[in-house]
Amino acid sequence: MPNRQIVLPASALVLLAVCTVLIAIFLLVPSFASRAIFAALVLIGVAFLIRYALLARIDYNEHQIESRADRNESAPESFELSKLLEATMSGMREGLLVVNRDMRVVASNNAAYRLFNPTPRRLESQRLTELTRNPAIYSAFLDALKGIERSGVKVETHGPERLVFDLRVVPLASTNGSGAEGALGVFFDITRIERLESVRQEFLSNVSHELRTPLTAILAFVETLETGAMEDQESNQRFLSIIRKNASRMHGLIDDILELTAIEGGNVQLRSAPIELHALVNEVVSSLATKAFANGIIITNSVAPEAVVHADARRLEQMLTNLIENGIKFNREKGQVTIRSESGARDKILVEDTGEGIPAQHLERLFERFYRVDRARSREMGGTGLGLAIVKHLALLHGGEVTVTSDLGKGSTFVIHLPHSG
């Protein structure tokens, strides 16, 4: 432990002596008023003493810190400064690169190493031009060496994975004040932010587009009615039903958007419990019976009567409704939809159809929002293009997933995988 001795200035010692004398007088003085005055004086004296003591202690601590810094020592109870700096640099997600006046790297961290991904040589002592040919990086460091701070420089890498960085470079001033001795660059990884931003923009433009189409139709038919078609009994019924169809399409779209936003935003709470799958599938099939009948499709519930899965009943029903409805919509005339289940490390619910199938190049993107194989056909059938995205997110929420396989001309199989109920 360091010596924490407090050195009091001479004036404080004089004050201490005066206080002692005052206390002695206080004890000798008989009247109450005089005692009160003496007591007040003593209190003031003590307050001064405490203040001196505190100031002396602060001075002492500062002195200790300064002398440690002079000797390049660290406090015994704290980390060693160089180790702390090293740990901070290597733990940082941001790439850090320091170059000297000759544009040679003098310090870097792991993140910078990963960013430049050079041959397994160290970055240190390499020239910046050896690390990267990116002119934006080079000119930002060059400017910093001229004393100009640069920020918001967008840097993209085109390796196996496309990464986007926001680069900020600051000059490192020399101690003698003769301009910049070097430059320090920090590469902030904004790949995720960029991706989210582009997803958001794409989503907004899709939503606007999806809403505009039915809205345009509604406006056009209202205008037609207003300009005379109202009198024509036969056409006004037809126009009104077109208006209704488009309005309910907008309604369905908004419902699906809200639903998807709630699921993705984590605002849907699952109430998972063991479910008798055969009975649940029967309910879904009954609710879609009219649609199936209209399309001449036969739905078969081939789930074993004893099959049990662990899921949120309402949400599983929603997933199955979406998949079976698609099986009906995208089937051939007099086709079939069959629902089966398999128990294993993960429970599987399979929805098979005998439709036209899905070309392989579409399979990877099929669960993306608004992705359709045939946009016009989907719209014509009142689809929103969000059904499979909802299924995907609900499956993920259950700790499972949804997959698809398809045979062109023969049909498709969608599989909901759920954690095994045990």
- Closer to ligand ADP at the Cβ: 94 or 325? 325
Site string for ligand ADP, 388-407 (x = CB under 6 A): xx------------------
Nearer to ligand ADP, 173 or 262 (CB): 262
d(CA 406, CA 319): 19
CA nearest neighbour of 96 among 182, 179, 162: 182
Which of 134/322 has CB closer to ligand ADP? 322
Torsion of CA 154, 157, 163, 167, to 10 degrees: -30
Give, as ranges, the residues between 168 and 187 that touch ligand ADP (CB under 6 A): none
CB 332 within 8 A of CB 382: no
Q: Which stretch binds ligand ADP (CB under 6 A): 165-173, 183-191, 278-286, 366-374?
A: 366-374
Tell me whether residue 214 or residue 387 sits nearer to ligand ADP (CB atom).
387
**Residue 301 or 384 with smaller CB distance to ligand ADP:** 384
Q: Exposure of 392 by Cβ count < 10 A (0-12 exposed, 13-18 middle, 19+ buried)? A: buried
Of 125 and 300, nearer to ligand ADP (C-beta) is 300
User: Cβ-closest residue to ligand ADP?
Assistant: 383
Residue 353 as a binder of ligand ADP (CB under 6 A): the answer is: yes
x/- site string to ligand ADP, residues 315 to 334, per CB under 6 A? -------x---xx--x----
Q: Which residues contact 229 (CB under 8 A, 6 or more apart)?
A: 235, 236, 239
User: Residue 386 is encoded by which pair of tokens?
Assistant: 């969000």
Choice from 184, 358, 395, 402 touching ligand ADP (CB under 6 A) = 358
Q: How far is the CB of 285 from ligand ADP (least distance, A)?
A: 16
Least spacing, CB of residue 354 vs ligand ADP, in Å? 10
Residue 371 CA to residue 394 CA, distance in Å, equals 17
Is residue 20 within 8 A of residue 46, CB to CB? The reply is no
Q: How far apart are the C-alpha atoms of 59 and 82, rounded to whole Å?
A: 26
Examine residue 283 and tell whether it contacts ligand ADP (CB under 6 A): no
CB of 326 vs ligand ADP, minimal distance in Å: 3
Task: Based on the shown chain and the rule CB under 6 A, indicate whether residue 387 belongs to the binding site for ligand ADP.
Answer: yes
| CA dist., res. 226 & res. 376, Å (int) | 28
Q: Which of 112, 412, 415, 418 binds ligand ADP (CB under 6 A)?
A: 412
299 binds ligand ADP, rule: CB under 6 A = no
Task: Based on the shown chain and the rule CB under 6 A, indicate whether residue 292 belongs to the binding site for ligand ADP.
Answer: no
User: At closest approach, how far in Å is the CB of 164 from ligand ADP?
Assistant: 29
Q: How far apart are CA 281 and CA 169, in angstroms?
A: 61
Binding mask 88-127 for ligand ADP (x = CB under 6 A): ----------------------------------------
Instruction: Give the CA dihedral 23, 29, 33, 38, nearest 10 degrees.
Output: -20
Identify the residue among 292, 378, 397, 402 touching ligand ADP (CB under 6 A). 378
Closest CB to ligand ADP among residues 70, 333: 333
Q: For the chain, how many residues are written?
A: 422
DSSP 182-248: EEEEEEEE-HHHHHHHHHHHHHHHHHHHHHHHHHHHHHHHHHHHHTTGGG-HHHHHHHHHHHHHHHH
* Helical axes 277-287 vs 313-329, angle rounded to 10°: 50
Stretch binding ligand ADP (CB under 6 A), from 85-93, 166-174, 267-275, 377-385 = 377-385
| 383 binds ligand ADP per the rule CB under 6 A | yes
User: By CB neighbour count within 10 A (0-12 exposed, 13-18 middle, 19+ buried), where does 45 fall?
Assistant: middle
Q: Which of 374, 407, 408, 409 lies at the binding interface for ligand ADP (CB under 6 A)?
A: 374
How far apart are alpha carbons 255 and 382 in whole angstroms? Answer: 13
Q: Give yes or no for residue 341 binding ligand ADP (CB under 6 A).
A: no
In angstroms, what is the minimal distance from the CB of 252 to ligand ADP?
9
Residues that bind ligand ADP (CB under 6 A): 322, 326-327, 330, 353, 355, 358, 366, 372-374, 378, 383-389, 412
